Structure 1
Amino acid sequence: MKMQTAQTRILAVDDNEAALYATSRVLKKAGFAVIEATTGEQALEIIRRERPPVVVLDVNLPGISGIEVCRRIKQDPDTRSTMVLQTSATSTAVHDRVEALVAGADTFLIEPVEQEELEAVVRALLRLHKSESTLRATLAERNLLLREINHRIKNSLQLVTSILNLQSQEFTDPQARQRFQHAVSRVMAIASVHERLYQDEDPLTVAMDEYISGLCAGLTNASILDPSRTNISVEVEPVRLPTEVAVPVALIVNELVTNALKYAQPPEGRGAIKVSLVRLPPDELKLTIADNGKGAATETKEQSGLGRRLVNTFVRQLAGRVATHSSANGYEVVIVFPEQAVTAWRPES
């Protein structure tokens, strides 16, 4: 039972000298190296410096309580992997134990604790800590591989766009060149998704607020129209979408904003395009692209062709639905799709 535990350090925290001695004695007898602390402040300092895998932490401490110490351990990315065994001889009611577990404790024992139980629980927490460490290492390797894949895809697509841009110079017909550049923008929209994935800490999902803002800015700069004549406003909630959802959303925005830039200029004044992505209760997202142009008569002429077919294809990929609204004040496309595919992500320590 004591094999391979002599170098494993366990932090025992208790302001009661007798209780601290008893806990330390059991752990030392089991073959662990024990570090002792009598206050929450001391415990936090030792944890940051020594990084013990397990902390046996009393609830009632002078100054910072054991529950608050646990909360701070779990909130700090550098220490959140530490396993916390919360103990108490006085705060033993259900609400006390629930409070400790909500704060992040991995388990709770009521004192006095039998020697065999304390040793068994500490060993179980060590196994859990080792398993989580292995998973984090595997995840880090996978993320590194995914970043490299996204980097290579992005570079390949950028090479394709460069070749296509050179080829577009061969067109003498302005309309043909414009259509070709529109095709190039579709490739660039996909490339920019993979660029975001490569640059982000999370290589699986895209922060859509940052991405759509950058995409719209790029479309404005690339437009053959005077950028000063059209204003694009972007209102996107901070939502992350997995790659398989982000790509069709990006291509939809690319199609509709490009179309609006070309066809939605009002007779007088400055053009205005609004792009928004918001949540709809209980579990949907709504993408809206609206402009203040002449309405559907002009815009749907282009959208009835390849662009419209592409948008409808991407909407089907999202298992969504699309609606259009036209008036003398402009044209609006609303796409609603389920949020079930959206991935919530938090960085691991």
Structure 2
Amino acid sequence: MIREQNPGQRYNISVLFVDDNETIRQLYRRILEKHVTHLYIAENGSHGLELYQKHKPDLVITDMVMPVMNGLEMVKEIKKFAPDAKFVVMSAYSEKDSFIESIHLGVDGYLMKPVEAKKLLSLIDEFAGITLMKWELEAKEKKRQEAEDNMKKSLAEKDVLLREVHHRVKNNMQIISSILSMQSRNIDDPRLKEILQESQNRIHSMALIHENLYNHKSLANIMFSTYIKSLTGNIARTYSNQQANIQFDYQIDDAYLPMDIAIPCGLIINELISNSFKYAFVNTSSGVISIHFKNIHDNEFKLIVADNGVGIPPEINILKTKSLGMKILHRLVQQIDGEIASDFSNGTKFIIQFKSTNK
């Protein structure tokens, strides 16, 4: 269906018209220059190729049979560097082979000469609509890409800022730990020294979380298996002068935990391992501390910290003990909405089960 044309309508597209006949070139110049923004006229395919390379028009209208370089040869050459270029070919000959070849080349229209002005303008109107739609889509895509780039830039800036925050928090905690260490050197009371050392270990367990977040790609979650080994190594060094040969038994699944779960879990491990070092291996030269961390179902985890030491006497109720470490332990389990169980039949064993939703 051919739409009604406004005789004075001008289309916001550029057109390259190629024909070897001077009379036809002048005729279509008078018709087309009133209706398109830019019009370029070429006398053969070679000239048309040159003008296309220079001006990149939106539409090429070309005769098929011309000297020097015919229309289909020009189309082939242009398609090599501009595969999306739009072409309409004209011919006074109804040649089947040429028609099939033009289809294979991917031309967008085929007209038989002589071409009526009304039909030609209708064709240009159609291509102008397609071109306009293409420009609108390109403009939208450009805006989308700019918005995406700005978002990526903003996220990258926030990433750097958040890493710097974790780095500074870790450094500040290390400063606090160093101050406690200096203070303990001026104290002779062994019990006070022990309290300060326990505080240092708790601070270090939290600082390790921030160090892991600073050094790894994710700023929301940490690889908890790596963190556990770093944490236990630090605690073992703290008590290295007090114990002869304490081994660790690790059975740890690889899993990421968010910071609000990882910090309480790290403190839980710190309390339980510290207690094992202090109380489980009295008058013995060796022992084993087991740390098992299992992803038992989706984001449901089980943490087991156990030792093969002397255990806890049955007359001691850990739920009612006044020990600061046990009070901290139960508060931390509540903080992660977990459940705690214990078994003192063979040494000391604590089982903590909790859920986590990775962010």
Q: Does 1:338 align with 2:355?
A: yes
State how far apart, in whole Å, the 2-side matches of 1:299 and 1:174 are.
27
Larger mean CA deviation between 167-176 and 116-125 belongs to: 116-125
Report if the CA contact (8 A) 2:293-2:304 is conserved: yes
Unaligned runs of 5+ in 2: 1-11, 14-75, 88-129
Structure 2 vs 1, CA of residues 257 and 288 (structure 1 numbering), >3 Å: closer, same or farther? same
State how far apart, in whole Å, the 2-side matches of 1:205 and 1:24 are.
46
Q: 1:24 is matched with which residue?
A: 84
Q: 2:151 is matched with which residue?
A: 135
Given candidates 321, 341, 356, the residue that maps to 1:323 is: 341
Q: Which whole-Å deviations, capped at 9, do the CAs of 1:27-62 have from their partners, x for residues lacking one?
A: x9xxxxxxxxxxxxxxxxxxxxxxxxxxxxxxxxxx
Report if the CA contact (8 A) 1:260-1:299 is conserved: no
Deviation of 1:255 (Å): 0.6
State how far apart, in whole Å, the 1-side matches of 2:315 and 2:228 are.
22
Q: 2:188 is matched with which residue?
A: 172
Report if the CA contact (8 A) 1:212-1:234 is conserved: no
Given candidates 145, 160, 182, the residue that maps to 2:198 is: 182
Q: 1:249 is matched with which residue?
A: 265
Structure 2 vs 1, CA of residues 172 and 226 (structure 1 numbering), >3 Å: closer, same or farther? closer
Structure 2 vs 1, CA of residues 122 and 174 (structure 1 numbering), >3 Å: closer, same or farther? same
Structure 2 vs 1, CA of residues 237 and 133 (structure 1 numbering), >3 Å: closer, same or farther? farther
Q: 2:68 is matched with which residue?
A: none
Q: Does 1:158 align with 2:174?
A: yes
State how far apart, in whole Å, the 2-side matches of 1:282 and 1:187 are.
30
- For the residue of structure 1 that corresponds to 2:85, the secondary structure is helix
State how far apart, in whole Å, the 1-side matches of 2:286 and 2:247 are.
7
Q: Which whole-Å deviations, capped at 9, do the CAs of 1:204-238 have from their partners, x for residues lacking one?
A: 32221111110101110111545551012333322
State how far apart, in whole Å, the 1-side matches of 2:297 and 2:258 are.
20
Deviation of 1:311 (Å): 0.9
1:266-277 matched pairs, under 5 angstroms: 268=284, 270-277=286-293
State how far apart, in whole Å, the 1-side matches of 2:270 and 2:302 are.
16
Deviation of 1:314 (Å): 0.9
Report if the CA contact (8 A) 2:244-2:285 is conserved: no
Q: Does 1:195 align with 2:211?
A: yes
Q: Which whole-Å deviations, capped at 9, do the CAs of 1:267-294 have from their partners, x for residues lacking one?
A: 6562111112221214311111111112
Deviation of 1:129 (Å): 3.2
Unaligned runs of 5+ in 1: 3-16, 29-113, 344-349
Larger mean CA deviation between 275-284 and 285-294 belongs to: 275-284
Aligned length: 240
Amino acid at match of 1:337: F
State how far apart, in whole Å, the 2-side matches of 1:166 and 1:302 are.
33
Q: 1:287 is matched with which residue?
A: 303
Amino acid at match of 1:179: I
Amino acid at match of 2:145: H
Report if the CA contact (8 A) 1:263-1:298 is conserved: no
1:65-214 matched pairs, under 5 angstroms: 124-214=140-230
Deviation of 1:133 (Å): 2.0
Q: Which has the larger radius of gyration?
A: 2
Report if the CA contact (8 A) 2:261-2:356 is conserved: no
- For the residue of structure 1 that corresponds to 2:295, the secondary structure is strand
C-alpha RMSD of matched pairs (Å): 3.1
State how far apart, in whole Å, the 2-side matches of 1:127 and 1:179 are.
60
